[in-house]
Amino acid sequence: MKRLFTVILLASVLSCNKADQLELEQLRSKSDQLQQKTVELSEASEVVSPRESGPYFISFDRARYGIDAGGSVTINYSVQEASELQLTVPQGWTAELKPSSAIDGTIIVTAPDPASPADIVLEANAEDGRKSVTLLPLMVRRPYTDRTRTDLGRLAYLGFDTSMITDYHFGKLVDAGMNMLTVETYDDWPQQLDLAAKYGIKVILFVNGEAGRYYRDPSSKALDNIVNASKDHPALYGYQIWDEPSLRDTTQINFEKKRIEQLAPGKPVYINLHPSSAGMMSLGCATYEEYVERYAASCNPEFISFDQYPVYQEGITPTWHRSLQVVSDVARRRGVPFWGFLASCWIDLEENTVKRARPTLENIRLQGNTVVAFGAQVLQYFVWRVYGGTSYAPLMRGGIYTQAYNDCSSYSAELQARSWVFAGGRVEKLRCSPLGSSCLEPLTPGDLPQQIEQLFCGGDVTYSFVTNAGNEYLAIVNNSWQDKQTVEIEFSEMVYIIDRGGEFTEQPCGAASLTIDEGDMLVIKTK
């Protein structure tokens, strides 16, 4: 005759303070409300984990899923129509069975240090034979300390005019989290380099005009003079020679690039590409993929940069994700970084006056998080100071700072707090939600890491799977800066959630409903 066998678990830390005791009582109250699962024992004895299907179902409150290495945990158990219980734990672990009656009691488990996740197996002697069932695969908690101290670039594009070359403005740049700056080659560029060095900022010098003159007349000395005067400066990062070239311009680009490489070996030459929304006449070829591939093959860049400003009042321009995907893919195949932009100003050129959205923390956050999730190693804030074609930026004429400055500062602090996840990392794959606005492939169950059993979001999000220094992360970006998104996830193991401040929260196994704020991203360390 077959019997019914029920196991109910509640895990809690054995040694706890008053706050933990209160939480424990709350957990015990919750456990009383758990739906008790009763399953029929089969004739054969077997061990079944909670993740697997089979004749046993384990129900327990998973909020106390972890155990500290070297620490102890108490498990409250209850069985029906069974007796002669026996525990089995892996080598190095200890377990003490303390029955309080014939059907319930406690189990005290102590983990070794160091320790790995372990299955705790309870055996019960029922009338129709001895049965065993895996009670709880305990996940060992460890303080997460393996952050690499790498950082992403945060570049203020078109930084200061002549009236702003002061300690005050460079200090404000650092306060906003910027660590790179573009400097135009007017008469004040040596002073800007000196202040940048004082404040630990790396500079890209614009030599577009001088490079073009050198191409037309190699006897011109302007480019040589600037490069020779700046190449050994401690603040100098590299030189920009072109913005949004056509493939028809690659001969000239290589001519200018070669000259700078001769004069300043090791200093990168910066060329910024068109977005995929540019037409055939601008690109110089039929497709955006061909444009980026042929540019990279011909000019052999140290990194690939492109600009696109996707935030409109009605939503994100649909070509943005395509641009990001193409540039990210080409850069990854060639083994070079890519640099991306966000609009930190209000671009009010021609027909865009009404359609473009003014910068807010939410849409700055959306742009930056998306670009980083696609693998960008430098995030460029366009523009830093207001100039022709824009009417609002972090820094206005007369040296006045706006709310956009505060929003860029807030986002840069968020980015810096989590930059070690992405700096030097590799984007393994990118996916979108089924109703997403991007051109990416929809997420499938086969994309999920083993720590995630199920994942669903009915809104518009981008999924980025990142590996870095032996760790694995899943970044989920909310593609709306106007609405929150809710992601339903079932975890099969404990993971870490990394918040905007870079802090870690243990996420126990089981089902969870996680909310992503407007434009924000949820970062999960899965391994």
The whole-number mean pLDDT for each consecutive block of 10 residues of the chain, a chain of 527 residues, reads 31 37 44 31 30 30 54 72 69 84 77 73 61 53 50 94 94 96 93 96 96 95 96 97 97 97 96 95 96 96 95 86 95 94 84 74 97 97 91 94 97 93 94 80 93 92 93 95 94 91 88 96 94
Contact 226, 183 (CB under 8 A): no
Task: In the chain, list all ranges with CATH 3.20.20.80.
Answer: 153-424
Residue 291, classed as helix, strand or coil, is: helix
Please, are residues 60 and 8 in contact by the beta-carbon 8 Å criterion? yes
CA atoms 262, 234, 406, 393: torsion sign? negative
> Taking a C-beta distance cutoff of 8 angstroms, is the pair 299, 267 a contact?
no
The CATH class given to the 153-424 domain equals alpha beta
Cα 271 from Cα 35, distance rounded (Å): 62
Residue 193 has a pLDDT of: 97
Residue 49 DSSP label: -
The highest-level CATH class for domain 4-141 is mainly beta
- Whether residue 393 contacts residue 383, with contact meaning beta carbons closer than 8 Å, is answered with yes
Whether the Cβ atoms of residue 229 and residue 190 lie closer than 8 Å to each other: yes
Cα–Cα distance, 8 to 24 (Å, whole number): 16
pLDDT recorded at residue 69: 76
Look at strands 311-312 and 8-13 and give their pairing.
unpaired
Query: Can you say whether the dihedral through the CA atoms of 436, 441, 444, 450 is positive or negative?
Result: negative
Q: How far apart are CA 69 and CA 92, in angstroms?
A: 11
The ranges of the chain annotated as CATH 2.60.40.10 are 4-141
CA distance 289 to 302: 19
Confidence at residue 504, expressed as pLDDT on a 0 to 100 scale: 86
Q: What does the pLDDT read at residue 458?
A: 87
Domain covering 429-525: architecture: Sandwich (2.60)
pTM for the predicted model, two decimal places: 0.75
**Two tokens, residue 480:** 């709306």
pLDDT of 238: 97
